[in-house]
Each structure stands twice: as C-alpha cells, then as structure tokens.
Structure 1
Amino acid sequence: MAHKHTLKVSVGRSDEEPATKRTKPDESFNPFYSSMWDEISKVYYTKRSLEEFDRRTAHESGDKVLTSARRKFGPLLVSDICALRDLASKGGPDLSILRGYSWLPTVPETKSVTNSAARSAGNMPSAYDANFERFMIEKVHVLPPNWQDPHGDEDDEPREPQNLGLIRDVLIQSRDSLAPSQWPEKNFREFKRAAGMNPDEEMVVKFEFPFVSGLKDSQYVVTEYIRFDNLDELHKDIVALQPDKAYGADRNDINSNVREELARYIVPASISTLAASNSFLELMGSTGHPGVAQRQAIHNGAVGARAMFYLQNYGKAIPEYDDNAYTLSSTYHPIGGILQMFATHPVAPPRHGDEPHYHMTLVDAFMMKGNPTKFREGAAAWRNGQQWAQQQRDAFIQRANNIDNRRSAALQQASAGTSNGKGEEDTATGVRPSTETVGGKGTALEKSAGR
C-alpha cells in the first residue's frame, strides 16, 4: 500500500553502516531515493527512513507555517518598508529570547531517473539499507531464502529449484588438489593467519580468500568491483549492481548477433570483456555486516539468473521455465571463515508477459576456520561451484550461438535463392543446457592435476 506524504516507521532491524570498501553510498539526501518509501508496505526503523521521515515532516510543517503567515498578514505598505529600514539601521529587533531557532529547509521535489549516470552516483536504494530487501521482495519479486509471506499468498512463497539436490551433490565432491598429500595442514594455519586478527575487506580479498579459490581461479573470466551499468536494472529505482567478484564468459565467445540482441541482460560493462555472469561473491571485512552481504547476494543472484534465462530462451517465441537454477551467489565473512552459497532461479510470473520472479535458496554453508576438514569441504564446494557454473553458461552460450549460426546460414541461402525452407526451431544437437551438463551425481569435476 502506498504511503502518500506520510511515512510510518516500524521498529525492526537497524540500518547497517557500510564497512570500509572501495566506495561508500552517498549518505546525503537525494530526491531519487525517496520514491522507494511510498512503494513498500512496511518501513524498517533505520537511519535513512528516519531522515526521510524528518524531511517529510519538515516539508509539511513548513507549509503550515507559511499558510498561517499568509492568512494573518497582508502585503507590506510603503510606510511599512520605511519603518523596517529605520529599525534595521538601528540594529534591528532584539532576538535574544529566540534560542535554537532555525528556518525550515527547502525540500526538493521527488523524481525518478533511470539513466546509468544517476544509478552509478549513489542516488538509488542499495543493499546498505535494511529496507532494500523488502523493496526487492514487493516490487522486483526477488524472494530471499526462508521468506514467508505474512498474507499467505501462494504466488509469493519461495520455491526451491528442482536441481537443488544435484547442485549439492556437485558441491560436496572431493578434489585431489585439496587432499592432505597435496594440501598439508600447515596451509590451513597459514590460511587462518593470512589476513590478520581484524582484517578489512581488502586484506580478505588479497590474502585470505585466494586460499579458498585456489590457483585455478585465475583461469576464469572474473572481475572485481566492476559496476554493471550497461544492464537494464531489475527495477528503475535500485542502484546498479557492483559485485565484489563476478565470474562469467568472455564476450568474444558469444556471437555478435546474440550479444547485440541480449546486451541489456548479459553484457554488464563496456570496460570489461565479462559477459553472461552467473556466479558472484560478496566479501566482508571483520566489521562487515552479514545482512548487507546477503542483500547484495540477493541482487547478484537475480541479475545472474536473468542472464541465464535469456540465453536459455534465445530464439524462442515464448519463454520456457524449467524451474532449475543455473546461478550461484555467495558470501564470505572472515570471522570463522563462513562461506554461504546460494542458488537463484527464475519462476514464471502469475500473469503472462510479466517479468520473471526470482527465488533464492541456500545451497550450503561452511565454517572454514574450524579445522582443516571444514576448510577442505568449503574450498571444494567453492571450486566445484565455479566449475559447475561455467558448464551451465558455456552450454547456454553454445546453444544460442548454434541458433544464430543456423539463422545466418538460412539468410545466406535465401539471399542466394537456394533456401531449403527449413525453420529456425531449436534443433541443436549435442548441447544440453540443463542439469545434465554437470554430468550427474558422482561425476568428477577435477582431474588429479587440477586445482
């Protein structure tokens, strides 16, 4: 329900201040952000919601003061102006009885923008505000893990992906590179000491998480802190995505026609070759708040799942939903070495033609600093997850490229007058962009020499 000009604040989770990171969101008032408050049904008691409440209260109070003054006083006469000038020349009225008085500020009118410049300038709602999650649930239809609709609407109940069991089977597979003979216990001690006692995020990125990701991480197409300002956002009123780490394909591996048609969903930034990202990581320093990281992961997972959905349905007149997940988004906190891995999948909207809804599911969690065995389990899950995600996007890209190649061949034949009359239906052979691409339960994801 919209709240017009009256902001009701409910006591709930406090606002988390952003930890020391590469950039901080703009803490000053901006007119673009305020439009969010009228669109969510419940507003949590946070710093930003209080600022918005004060702003609207000041606006309304100012209107009342000005209206009262206009009713009580008429226009000034020439004699009044002369009297005022005379009073001013003698020092003006005695204001000593007025203490702590300040005039009400001018309040700018609210408006909404959709261009990337405004979204990249910190002028939009972001994961640093606890109300962001509710906005994503109610306006973007992205459901976090364990979400329960207070109204009992079945359309808004979270659903697990059908291939959740298969993903879990993939993650728990052991890796030869993490066997005790290849990864001795002294490495575990080095991992625990890597970032120091109270590491900030930069220390975790440089010195601690590389123990988890392993040497093979450098073989992936991966970006750090790149703003995804080329994509259409999930909603016009939320900030552009900026993952700590994003894994995807090289855009040059995708046919130019496919890239151009799906650019708004799969080509995140012009300054990177990354495309079709379907695995993300949010890292925290020791003072980082897990709530912020999870809200970032919710946003990451939905954008990645959308990219896979459009690649999967490339060339189809009517999109199909198979209720499987092909996207992973993870969070890592150095206190305890807690790694959480989530899967996000698209769900058909209640009304045909609407944008997909997205449901996020916790796949598994690992406390990696407990002992060497826990570390090996978490590190194996992370590395297996990256390899699995790569297999999914590669299969979808190959399928889309095959469709584009057949289209191009048919156009060439038609232009030469030798068209065979075949349609453009999806008849790709040898490409199975589904849960089968991981090879099924028990399939080894790593050879003995791999990391």
Structure 2
Amino acid sequence: MSSSRSTRQSLGLSSAATHSTLLTTDTSKTKTTGPYDRQFQQVLIDNGIYPQGYRYSDGRVPPKPDNWDQFGQMLARPRPSLSPSRFGDAEFDDLVQADADAGKEQQVCESVLPYIEGRVADARCRSGGVPFSNLEDLTDRPLTKGKPDVFYGARPEQLDRGVRDALSGHIIPSTQDDLLMLPNFYTEVKGPDGSLAVAGRQACYNGALGARGMHSLHTCGQAESTYDSNAYTITNTYHGGTFKIYTSHIEPPRTAGGRPETYMHQLNGYNLTGNIGNFRAGAAAYRNARDYAKMERDSAILQANERLAQLQAETAADEENVSPALSLVTALDTEETHTLTRDSGTSFDEDGHAARRDRESDSSPDELADYALPAKRPARRSMRQESQRKRRDAESYSSHNRTRSGDAYAA
C-alpha cells in the first residue's frame, strides 16, 4: 500500500473521499450540468445542497448556523479605510461612475470590485477565474467545475504536505499545486445583462465546495465525522450595484448512510451605489467577512499542523525506530474517536495586529484597527491528555489480551 493511500486512510478520508464516487453515474455518458442550466439548482437540492430561501415541503425552515448571531455585529464593525477622511464623496462618485461604465462582467471585476475589496495584503491568497478541476464531485450527477470570479484561500505551504496530499480532492482546487488552497471566501459578479439567478446558483455551489473543504480539514484524523453546525465559509454576489453576502455551513446527514447537507443563508444585502453610507456599510461587511474567513481557515490549518506534529513526536518517543511517515500513520490510526478541535479566540491588539503572527488578515494592517474577533469557544481535552489516556487504555487492554481496532483603494 502506498504511503499516500495509507495517510489518506489514516486521516479517515477513505470513506469520505469515495462517497461521491460511489454515488456518481458513468460521467462519460452523462452531460455535465452548470449554473446556466435550469436544472442545476435541482441537482444541488437532490444532493443535499440547499440555496438561499429554500423551504422543505412541510414548511420547515433549514437551520441557520450555530454561530449565526456573531455575524451581525462582526459585519457592522467600521473600517478605518472607509472613514470620511479616507473615502469621501469624490471617491464614492468615482465608484458610481465605474459601475455605470462597466458594461460587462469582466469590467465590473476590474473597475468596481477593487473599491469594495480595498487593499489586499497577500496577493497569493487571492485568485479568480481558475477552474476547480482538482476537486471531487459534490453530486451524483456531473456538474461543470466551479470557476469563481474571486476567491480567497491559504498558501499551500501553510499546511503539512501529507495532509494536503490526503485531502487534495477537498481542499486543493486547481491542478496547479502552487495556487492557493482551502478557499472559503467567494465572490460572484455579474454585468448589467447578467443573471442574478445564475449568480445565486454559482454562490450556492461555491459555498458548498468551501464548506466541504473546511469540514474535511476540521475532521481529519477522526474515525467518524463530527458536525459543529458553524459557518466557516462566506459567499458574495454583486449585480447592478447590489451586494449580497451569505454563509454556507454543513449539517450531518438526516438519514443513515446519507450525504451531509449544506445550507446557504443570506446575512445581508447592500445597495452600494445608492449613497455613500450604504457603500461604507457594504464594503465594511465584505472586508470584515473576508477577515473572518481567513481567521477560520488559518485556525483550522494551525491546529491540524500542531496536532499532527504532536502525534508524530509522541509516537516517535514511543517507537524510536519508526520512520516519521509511518509514525504519523500509526499515531492517527489510534485516534479512533478524537475530535480535531478549533480555537477562534484570536484577537487584535490596539494597533490592529493579530495577536498571533500566523493569523494575519487578508486586509491591509491599517484596516484592522478596532477589529475584534469572536469570543473563544471552550477548548476540549488537550491532545496530549487524550493521547496519554488512550495509551493507558491500550496497555490495560493488552494486559487482558484484548485489542483495539481522526481576506487598491483602502490606503
């Protein structure tokens, strides 16, 4: 068995990675369906991916993410770069004119979106127009590959290479390995003649891909997937001066052996070209949400790296002659019920810098003044305590002959 396959299995991905393959029909004989096709949305719904505004046949409303309440205050936080001294009437008039002059989608992306985005701290963590040709299918019918207008993610080198390889089909969107990974912030743009309905379907699709990737990283190494029902993925649409922002989050399957379900909910909408106040509110929401998405993916990456490194070190100490790769596999194999925990308690200091150096914002540093992150969630049992407990259990079982079968206009 290859080391890549072993690592994949040890991370608990063997069943998750093959689930879509087992349910997919012969794609060589089936036409792909895309967001411009009217049946696209139904394909998503049939596979447990629900758009904004969906209601069940019995009238039930799909659940909002458990962390829904934190978004309202977070999105409304003011941004220094959008203050009257830095973004005034002249700049707003320029935005309105740019929107009026943009006759095509590409022109909107090039001349309007920069006003909303502000300065981007790391250009390598922003991309767009790249087909997501490396990601595994989400549905049992072949869909055209996602190709978001704008998306943000992490640098590949941030995550342990073995984990990247094992989770590739869920977190590496492009076959060009040096492009960003784990995208969880997306924007779809339409020109004056573009379809808002299409933008919504694209946003729903993008959000499901992003939510799956974050979920896979959060749960790598677990024997069974766990679901905290929080939203870690943000999608946006822009059409005719109107900007809308959504969450996407995953819930567990409703039936045994079923698929996880992904839900899209609108957080807010803004008429950016209506008046300068609307623009400031909408642009602030965009930038704040972008920073939130970065914080969450960086937290997931950091904890995955720390967890694997600790497991390797502990295993190496116990089995001195075992190679690092085999140590990782062996250590993860013993983590039958361990849950990969997350800590989003990072906060920014008075100068607007992240308290942890490895969690810099996608916004420029001066954007971050007065930006505070959500309160800490309770931490679970430490990994070392869990590992020590399991080692004691294993020794006890052995003594009784028993065996134990994983975010350039801001400045």
Report if TM-score (shorter chain) is over 0.5: yes
Task: Look up the equivalent residue of 2:36 and give its one-letter code.
Answer: Y
Please tell me whether residue 257 in structure 1 is matched to residue 162 in structure 2. Answer: yes
In the TM superposition, residue 247 of structure 1 has moved relative to its aligned partner by 0.7
Gaps of 5+ in 1: 1-110
SS at match of 1:270: coil
**Cα distance, 1:134 vs structure 2:** 1.4
Q: Secondary structure at the match of 1:449?
A: helix
Q: Is the 8 A contact 1:176 1:447 kept in 2?
A: no
Distance 1:448 1:409 in 2: 36
Q: Give the secondary structure class of the aligned counterpart of 2:138.
A: coil
Task: Tell me which residue corresponds to 1:199.
Answer: 103
Asked whether the equivalents of residues 103 and 192 of structure 2 are also in contact (C-alpha less than 8 Å), the reply is: yes
Partner amino acid, structure 1, of 2:204: I
Cα displacement (A) at 1:308:
0.7
Q: 1:312 aligns with which of 215, 218, 221?
A: 218
Gaps of 5+ in 2: 1-24, 354-360, 368-409
Deviation at 1:406, TM superposition (A): 2.0
Q: C-alpha distance in 2, partners of 1:304/1:278?
A: 5
Q: Using the alignment, how far apart are the partners of 1:247 and 1:447 within structure 2?
A: 14
* CA RMSD between the two structures: 2.8
Larger radius of gyration: 1
Q: Is 1:112 equivalent to 2:36 in the alignment? A: no
Contact 2:119 2:364 in 1 (8 A): no
Report if the CA contact (8 A) 1:343-1:363 is conserved.
yes
User: Following TM superposition, by how much is the alpha carbon of 1:197 offset from its aligned partner in structure 2, in angstroms?
Assistant: 3.7
Measured at CA, do residues 245 and 389 of structure 1 come closer, stay the same or move farther in structure 2, by a change above 3 Å? same
SS of equivalent to 2:184:
strand
- Point out which structure has higher relative CO (alpha carbons under 8 A, 6+ apart): 2
Aligned 8 A contact 1:143 1:358 in 2 = yes
Deviation at 1:196, TM superposition (A): 3.8
Deviation readout 1:335-392 (Å, 9 max, x if unpaired): 2x11111101001102344331101100111100001110000110001010000000
Rounded Cα–Cα distance in structure 1 between residues aligned with 2:235 and 2:272: 18
Counterpart position of 2:38: 130
**Partners of 2:222 and 2:257 in 1: CA distance:** 14
Counterparts of 1:204-353 in structure 2, within 5 Å, are 204-216=108-120, 219=123, 221-236=125-140, 237-271=142-176, 272-333=178-239, 335=240, 337-353=241-257
Q: Is the 8 A contact 1:305 1:326 kept in 2?
A: yes
Amino acid at match of 1:345: H
CA deviation profile, 1:120-140 (whole Å, cap 9, x unmatched) = xxx4101102221112112x1
Determine helix, strand or coil for the equivalent of 2:366.
Answer: coil
Residue of structure 1 equivalent to 2:275: 371
Would you say the 8 A contact 1:226–1:243 is kept in 2?
Answer: yes
Matched residue pairs, number? 323
Distance (whole Å) between structure 2 residues aligned to residue 315 and residue 279 of structure 1: 25
2:75 pairs with 171, 182, 186, which one?
A: 171
In 1, Cα distance between the equivalents of 2:339 and 2:42?
Answer: 42
2-structure distance, mates of 1:217, 1:113: 40
CA 1:195 to 1:371, structure 2 compared with 1: closer, same or farther past 3 Å? closer
Q: Which residue of 2 aligns with 1:449?
A: 366
C-alpha contact (below 8 Å) 2:120/2:364 kept by paired residues: no
> Does the CA-based 8 Å contact 1:315-1:400 persist in structure 2?
no
1:427–1:159 distance in 2 versus 1, CA, 3 Å = closer
Q: Name the SS for the 2:81 alignment partner.
A: helix
User: 1:195 and 1:314 mapped to 2: Cα distance?
Assistant: 43
Residue 147 of structure 1 aligns with an amino acid whose one-letter code is Y
SS of 1:159's equivalent?
Answer: coil
Match of 1:147?
A: 54
**Pair 1:230–1:433, CA change in 2 (3 A):** farther
Structure 1 residue 417 displacement after superposition: 5.7
Partner-residue secondary structure (3-state), 1:241: coil
One-letter amino acid of the structure 2 residue matched with residue 113 of structure 1? T
1:102 is matched with which residue? none
Q: CA separation in 2, counterparts of 1:399 and 1:176?
A: 31
* Moved beyond 6 Å, runs of 4+: 443-448
**Superposition TM-score, scaled by structure 2 size:** 0.72
Q: Distance in 2 between matches of 1:283 and 1:427?
A: 37
SS of residue in 1 equivalent to 2:27? coil
| Aligned mates of 1:234, 1:433 — CA distance in 2 | 28
Asked whether the equivalents of residues 124 and 155 of structure 2 are also in contact (C-alpha less than 8 Å), the reply is: no
Task: Give 1:134's aligned amino acid.
Answer: Q
Q: Which moved more, 1:232-241 or 1:244-253?
A: 232-241
